[in-house]
Structure 1
Amino acid sequence: MAQESTREKSTASEAESEAEDSDFKPLTARQAQEWRKRQVPLSVWRIVAIQAVMGVLVALLAWWLTGRPQVAWSAGYGALSVVLPAALFARGVSRSRSSAGAAMVGLFGWELVKIALTVAMLVAAPRLVPGLSWLALLAGMVVVMKTYWIALLARPGVRRTD
């Protein structure tokens, strides 16, 4: 009896899944081409440039709020520890690959390089930034990392399909 109940539930969930799948309609070649025209490609270099500008702004804001150049250098170094690895990642990923597998390996490989460089920069921070303020460094990192979301939300040319 318990098996019948389980079978009925799985049959019901399969029927619901098939009903959802039947709503899916693949795009025609013309519809796909129109969709591509509406989607403006977002340059990774533009995101890196926006991050760099935000890093400078955070450093200036830290200096203005505290009046201490050490805090500004700390915030700037925190921003740099995000921007520099992101630029290296963008350079590595933007190269064309021969296959999808090679592109995936490249993506993960460059992400690993990006993380390793960020960690190395953070380890070197006390030796490179005199009077280091870890709080300002962290603030610089967080603001610049959040710039990804701002760049994605504010990208121009994306139109809704109504």
Structure 2
Amino acid sequence: MPDRTRPLNGRPDPWVDEGDDSAAPAFRPLTREEAQALRAKEPPLNPWRVIVVQVLVGVLVAGLAGLVFGSKAVAWSLLYGAATVVVPGALMARGMTSRLSSVSPGASAVSFMLWEVVKIAVSIAMLMLAPKLVQPLSWPALLAGLVLCMKVYWVALLWRGR
């Protein structure tokens, strides 16, 4: 077995700590009470809350844009842009909250990757269908709705931090 601290070039590996390990704190699993306290302190964020907030942001912004610009095309384009984020996000949330995705850590990782691919594919398909489904289409309004609804993810992360 080769020495991991000395690579083939003869120089020490900068990623290997050759120092004294006694100063490092030992890893220990949490007790049940500690785990429950940690869960109570940092509750998981419900993905459905994020989807609902995205829907609300999309409808509100589309309504405001329709009033401000007086154009149904802008409002529908904004709403379709929001739907391009919400529909794939809802599909992924549904897939990730199913029982099958929480069977084991491996199944959860595979499920996450699968639903992320589905989310991306549905988003691309919706964007490709936009000119046929929304007539007349305002691309700037569609992109504004899409970006605003995607920014809800950042708001959700800040929301979780409180």
Answer yes or no: same fold by TM over 0.5.
Answer: yes
Partner of 2:147: 142
Q: Which moved more, 1:27-36 or 1:114-123?
A: 27-36
Using the TM superposition, give the Cα deviation of residue 18 of structure 1 relative to its aligned residue in structure 2, in angstroms: 4.6
Cα separation, 2, equivalents of 1:66 and 1:18:
66
Q: Percent identity?
A: 44
Larger proportion of helix: 1
Q: Which residue of 1 aligns with 2:82?
A: 79
Q: 1:26 to 1:137 in 2, by over 3 A?
A: same
What are the ranges of 5 or more consecutive residues in structure 1 without an aligned counterpart? none
- Give the match for residue 106 of structure 1: 111
TM-score norm. by structure 1 comes to 0.81
Q: Deviations over 1:98-146 (max 9, x none)?
A: 2221111111111111111111111111111111000000000000001
Q: CA RMSD in A?
A: 2.5
Is 2:62 aligned against 1:59?
yes
1:10 is displaced (CA, Å) by 4.3
The CA distance in 2 between the partners of 1:74 and 1:16, in whole Å, is 60
**1:128 equivalent in structure 2:** 133
User: Alpha-carbon deviation of 1:154?
Assistant: 1.5
Q: Which amino acid aligns with 1:38?
A: K
In 1, Cα distance between equivalents of 2:25 and 2:147: 41
- Counterparts of 2:104 and 2:58 in 1: how far apart (Å)? 35
The residue type equivalent to 1:41 in the other structure is P
Taking a change above 3 Å as real, the CA distance of residues 84 and 19 of structure 1, as seen in their structure-2 partners, is farther
What amino acid is the match of 2:154?
W
Q: Within the alignment, does 1:95 sit opposite 2:98 as a pair? A: yes
Higher relative contact order (CA 8 A, sep 6+): 1
Q: TM-score, normalised by structure 2?
A: 0.81
Distance 1:56 1:15, change over 3 A: same
The within-5 A match list for 1:43-54 is 43-54=46-57
User: Which region of structure 1 is more displaced relative to structure 2, 94-103 or 129-138?
Assistant: 94-103
Q: How big is each residue's C-alpha offset from its partner over 1:62-83, in whole Å with a ceiling of 9 and x where there is no partner?
A: 2133111100100000000110
Question: What is the aligned residue count?
Answer: 151
Question: What stretches of structure 2 of length at least 5 have no aligned partner?
Answer: 1-7
The amino acid across from 1:6 in the alignment is R
